[in-house]
Amino acid sequence: MRRTEVVFPLEDGGGFKEKLLLWAQQYTEVIWLDSNDYQHLYPSFDAVLAVDALTAIKTDHHHAFDDLKEYQATTADWIFGYLSYDLKNDVEKLTSSNTDHLHFPELYFFQPKKMIFIKGNTAKFHYLPMVDDEVEEDFNAVRDMEEKDTPELRPIPGEGIKARIPREAYLQKVEQMLVHIRRGDIYEANFCQEFYTEEAGISPLKAFFGLNAISRPPFAAYLKLEDKYLISASPERYLKRTGNKVVSQPIKGTARRAEDPEEDQQLKHDLENTPKERSENIMIVDLVRNDLSVTAKKGSVRVEELCEVYTFEQVHQLISTVTSEVEDDISSVDIIRSTFPMGSMTGAPKISAMKIIEKLEETKRGLYSGAVGYFTPSGDFDFNVVIRSILYNAADKYVSFTVGGAITGESVPEKEYEECLIKARAMRRVLEE
C-alpha cells in the first residue's frame, strides 16, 4: 500500500524523540524502536515510531508462523509487532505449562496508519492515504509538546520487588541443570528467573525514559498494545534481513562495569579472555550457524565477528556476528521460523535445552526472550531479543522483569546468581527509585 512521505528538519533530534513518544500515548497500538546511535550495528534508521493500527493479527502459538506469513503477504506493507518465546510450541513438539501472570498474546503484529522515522536531523512521516492530511497537524502537535506533559514515575510501593525463585532454590535448580550437562543431555542452557510485584501502578513511558537513559542500548523498544506494555533496553539483535543478506548477533558473556577506568578496562580484558565466557559464546555461534544453514545458500554462512567485546552503560558483553545469504524466493517468515527461538536464549542442543528450561523455570516466559521488530513491504525485517526488559499488565497491575544466564559445565551456581543480579540492576533501579 502506497504511503505519503513528508520530511521535516529537526532542530533538536533528542528532544523531538521524547516529545514524539509523549504524543503517541493517545493511540492504542504503539511501537517505538531506537538504536541510540549505535551506527556500527547495521541500523536502517536512528529510530522509528509506528502507531494506530489499520489491521492487526493477534494469536496464540497454534499455526502462528503460517498465520503471520499469510498476514505479511496480504498486507504487503510495513508491519510491526512481536514474537513471544512460546511460539517454540509451533516450531517443535513442545509445551508451555508454567504459570502465565502477564497474559500477553503469543503473537501480535499490526499495520500502522502512521509511521515516523528519525534519521540524523530529520523526521520522515510515512502515512497511509486515509490519514495523510494529518501530517502537518501531527508534526506541529509533536513539536509543541511540553515537558510538563511527561508522566510521573511512581516508585514500586509496599513490599517492593520479589524474586519468584528464592536464592537457595535457584542454586539448587542450577545444580540440577549441571547434572543434565554432566550426563550429556545438553552442553549449555539459558536458565531464567522472574522478579515481580503485584498491585503496582507504574507510568510505563516514564519507566522507558528512565531505563533507556541509564542503559542507552542499540535495540531499545517501547511497546503499548491496549493495556499491555513492554519497556525494553535490549542490547541484542536476534535477526535482520536486508535483501539476500541475513545477520544474527548473539550475545553470550557478561561483565559488570566499574567507575574506575583502569578497573573497567581490566574487567573488559578478563571477559574477552575468560575460557568459560568464550565457550558460552562459541557454543551459541555454532547453533546459530546451524540454524541459518537451513535457509542459506550453500557455503554462505560466515562468522564475521567472534567474541567481540561491546561496552554498554551497565555491562560489557561478548557479541558475535553470523551472516548468511539466501535466495530471492525464500520467505522471511520461514527464515525466522527456522531459527526461532534464538540460540542465545535457549541452549544446545536446542530442543533438549528448551525441555529442561521448561521443567526448571517457574513462570511462562511469554514476551521475555521473544523478539520485537518489523517487516518492510519488500519482506526485509529486523528483530531484537527481548532481554533487559520490564513487562507490565496495567489491567492486572502486574509488573515483571526476568533475567537469566547461560549455564555450562563450568558454571558456579553462586556466580550465576550474582550475574542475574547485575543484569537486574537497571530495571530494579528504574522501578524502585
The Cα 328–Cα 361 span in angstroms is: 40
Q: What is the dihedral of CA 82, 88, 89, 93, to 10 degrees?
A: 160
The question of whether 236 is a catalytic residue gets the answer: yes
Residue tagged active-site, from 106, 236, 277, 361: 236
The Cα 252–Cα 277 span in angstroms is: 7
CB-based contact 103:393 (threshold 8 Å): yes
Bridge partners, 233 (sequence order): 220
Residue tagged active-site, from 252, 350, 364, 423: 252
> Which residues, 6+ apart, have CB-to-CB distance to 54 below 8 Å?
110, 111, 112, 113, 128, 130
The question of whether 252 is a catalytic residue gets the answer: yes
| Residues annotated as part of the active site | 236, 252
